[in-house]
Structure 1
Amino acid sequence: MENGAPMDEELKLETDILTLDYLLCSAVKGVIDDRRAQRDSQQRLRQNGEDLFATFDVFMQLFQQNHPDAELSDDLRIKLQILTVTNLFCRRYRASVFMPSKETLQTQRQHNKERANAWLQQHKGCIILPENGAADGPTDRASRETIRRQMYSLMRVPYDENIPALDSAVTLLDILPEYMALCRMVSKTVQDGNWMDQPIFFMLHSALEQILIHGTTISHAANEAFAWGCPLDVESTQFEKADFIIEWEAFRDSVKESLFPDTQTTWESQLGELLDKKSPLTQFEDSILVWLEGVLRLQNTPILAQLEEGNLDGLTVEETEAFMDRVGIR
């Protein structure tokens, strides 16, 4: 490209997509790295993930202004969903301009409740009703506040003026629909069947958080959090796929039922057993972070990241240099 020559629109779009892809993947990695550093009690002068996400956010706004009709590839749409889940999941403990507002959360929560109720009406056998008004979780605000403080301490997050107010804090139940959408998007490419258990544990921890911190009854929290079908692509009629879905639904229902104590067990003992032994919160977070990184690795490596390494996949050094000349980055 000659110096001073205007860049045609097609080439401009191509180079902007390259930049968007690079910034997007960098932001995902940076946000996860920041959360891990926080968990490991590492002191950082700057939060790299915060800076990388801010850079991506500004560029994304410019991209949408400059290319309002641009069609993004499936690869980019999946990466955008990965970033959405990563940002909400890793940074929900602190107030941030990059998190949904209280008003947005209220609207989303109403939509999510309506979706869950519609699903339950179609799957009435999955509805669990409260029994005889028995104790159904902590009912006083002081107890819930104590539990919230304990959770922050466990997750190595300072409980200070930077935490969001309880009604404007992003919860796992808020994130769950975005996470399930991502699971559906990648179900054709993720071949490891073990990862399919993770959505169920995401439902479990979503319900536990609602019960222990937000004062929702066990039955209401469980019914909404577990109101999901298997995210596996079910277009195929293969018998083994149908069998897998049946097994998945049975496991989902058994985990949901594990929230409810029997007549000999208090709710404190029942939920404590889940959090202490069966699915500790730190272990759950680790598994989600590893999964998000794994799903990102399954996507195409950004071309600009490949160029940082000196060559493009499938191209010779000479072809790589020719490409760099064409898009004006050399």
Structure 2
Amino acid sequence: MAMSSPSPPSPEGGKRANPETQVEVDVMILDYLLYMAARQVIAGRKAQRSGVVAGGSNGAADAEYGGGDGDERMVGDMPLMMVDSFLPIFKANHPTHLVPESTHSRLLLLKFSTLFVHRLQRSPSTPPLPSLQHLRARNHARATTWLSHHPPSQSATSIFNDLSNGLPIPPQSLHQNRRHVLSHNCPPNTVLTTPDFYGTPACLSLRDTLPAFMELSAYITSTYKSGRVNETWEKMAAEYMLQAALEAYLVYGESGDAALRECFAWGFDAEAMDGDAGEGGFLVNTMFWDEDQSIMEKWARIRNEHMQALAPPPQTHLQAHLETVATRFPLFRFEGRLLDFLWALTRHETAPVLAQLETGCLDGFSREETEALTRRVGIQIN
């Protein structure tokens, strides 16, 4: 398939492309780029994980990723660069245009997938520190509001008290934990260059990315699944919270109970229904609500079970217990399930128009109608 760009202004008559046609073409291009970039990011990380398993810590995966010669390219960079180049142009040309729901969901999927997949290593996708600080302040404010409406239960209070002792974890242990995570989750050729980044304030943490996961899930659920989540998703979301808490203490060296409280501050908040959390916050809140309260009750149980797993048994050192929990819930296994979930989202939605046109056939259109559309928007099918 070859795409021809919209015609430039004519030197003689100053003729420009029809505005309606132009926005249609630009939306199709944006939709296609988002779709391809998200698939590349997710598929690239899934392939990279295969190399991690095959290579272990001996460098056997170097050949697959161009390692051993200083090549530290992140998966999916080229499609992301195309999105980064085109999105500002689209916003400048169509500042008031609302993109279709499918395009918005692809944008949320790409945003979260990129942050999650690239979080362990510094990359062009890593937000600058001031942006991260703003993100963390916003996330903390959201959690503080939620917690003010949900006094902790007696069991939760006990967990919070347990986390007041034995923290923060000593620096040497933090360093070892960082190396352990990287050796099990990154290609061997990048592990030596990453410890000075992972676990620092400049690095995205799982706690930083958790709200983006919730926003993506809520939008997909409200748009395609009648607003209801199932138990499989609830268990994955609860483990995300647990993994975020483990990382906060074992890798980032947090102390006290603030990190744990923030990580698990998710669920329906009746007092926030009329608040100013914006569309994303509203959808996240309603995702946990149902008329007969079955979702709310099940979510509360699953959430509390995962939070309770962090409470050390009597006479058990907190650090040793948290490391045991991390072994029980391997981050690598969790990431695999999450990537499968994200990949399923890319396959659930209808492919973008331009992706369909690559096959020469558009859903719901005859061959003749497809050809008429391509002529109208300036696309040539070979």
What TM-score, normalized to structure 1?
0.91
> Match for residue 45 of structure 2?
35
Separation in 2, partners of 1:137, 1:205: 17
- For the pair 1:94 / 2:121, whether they are aligned, the reply is yes
Separation in 1, partners of 2:350, 2:119: 28
Find 1:187's aligned residue among 221, 235, 240. Answer: 221
Find 1:159's aligned residue among 191, 194, 204. Answer: 191
Q: Is the 8 A contact 1:137 1:268 kept in 2?
A: no
1:168 partner SS: coil
Separation in 2, partners of 1:64, 1:44: 35
Q: Is the 8 A contact 1:218 1:260 kept in 2?
A: no
Q: Is the 8 A contact 1:155 1:282 kept in 2?
A: yes
The residue identity in structure 1 corresponding to 2:341 is: W
Quick one: structure 1 residues 225 and 261, their matched pair in 2 at CA, closer, same or farther if it must change by over 3 Å?
same
Q: Deviations over 1:146-202 (max 9, x none)?
A: 110110001034223356361100000000111111111122324654122211111
The residue identity in structure 2 corresponding to 1:143 is: S
Separation in 2, partners of 1:121, 1:204: 21
- For the pair 1:210 / 2:226, whether they are aligned, the reply is no
> Match for residue 110 of structure 1?
137
- For the pair 1:130 / 2:186, whether they are aligned, the reply is no
Separation in 2, partners of 1:137, 1:254: 24
Q: Deviations over 1:114-158 (max 9, x none)?
A: 2111111110125633249532462x2121011101100010342
Find 2:304's aligned residue among 253, 268, 275. Answer: 253
Find 2:177's aligned residue among 120, 140, 147. Answer: 147
163-172 vs 66-75, which moves further: 163-172
Separation in 2, partners of 1:132, 1:187: 34
The residue identity in structure 1 corresponding to 2:192 is: D
2:369 partner SS: helix
Q: Is the 8 A contact 1:102 1:168 kept in 2?
A: yes
Separation in 2, partners of 1:110, 1:235: 24
Q: C-alpha displacement at 1:219, in angstroms?
A: 2.5
Identify unmatched segments of 5+ residues in structure 2: 52-60, 67-72, 269-283
- For the pair 1:318 / 2:368, whether they are aligned, the reply is yes
The residue identity in structure 1 corresponding to 2:219 is: M
> Match for residue 208 of structure 2?
174
Q: Is the 8 A contact 1:88 1:170 kept in 2?
A: yes
> Match for residue 13 of structure 1?
23
Once superposed, what is the RMSD of the aligned Cα atoms? 2.4
Percent of aligned pairs sharing the same letter? 29
Find 2:257's aligned residue among 206, 215, 219. Answer: 219
- For the pair 1:263 / 2:280, whether they are aligned, the reply is no
Quick one: structure 1 residues 301 and 218, their matched pair in 2 at CA, closer, same or farther if it must change by over 3 Å?
farther
Separation in 2, partners of 1:180, 1:15: 31
Q: Is the 8 A contact 2:121 2:197 kept in 1?
A: yes
> Match for residue 44 of structure 1?
65
Quick one: structure 1 residues 214 and 132, their matched pair in 2 at CA, closer, same or farther if it must change by over 3 Å?
closer
Q: Deviations over 1:233-255 (max 9, x none)?
A: 4597542xx11221111110121
Separation in 2, partners of 1:297, 1:82: 12
19-28 vs 260-269, which moves further: 260-269
1:40 partner SS: helix
Q: Deviations over 1:16-62 (max 9, x none)?
A: 11010111011011111222232222523565610110111101111
181-190 vs 90-99, which moves further: 181-190
Q: Is the 8 A contact 1:211 1:218 kept in 2?
A: no
Q: Could you list the runs of 4 or more consecutive aligned residues of structure 1 that deviate by over 4 angstroms after TM superposition?
A: 1-5, 45-48, 234-237
The residue identity in structure 2 corresponding to 1:10 is: E
The residue identity in structure 2 corresponding to 1:254 is: E
The residue identity in structure 2 corresponding to 1:164 is: F
The residue identity in structure 1 corresponding to 2:172 is: A
Separation in 2, partners of 1:44, 1:113: 37
Quick one: structure 1 residues 179 and 38, their matched pair in 2 at CA, closer, same or farther if it must change by over 3 Å?
same
Q: Is the 8 A contact 1:130 1:219 kept in 2?
A: yes
Identify unmatched segments of 5+ residues in structure 1: none
What TM-score, normalized to structure 2?
0.79
> Match for residue 121 of structure 1?
148
Quick one: structure 1 residues 311 and 232, their matched pair in 2 at CA, closer, same or farther if it must change by over 3 Å?
farther
Q: Is the 8 A contact 2:135 2:208 kept in 1?
A: yes
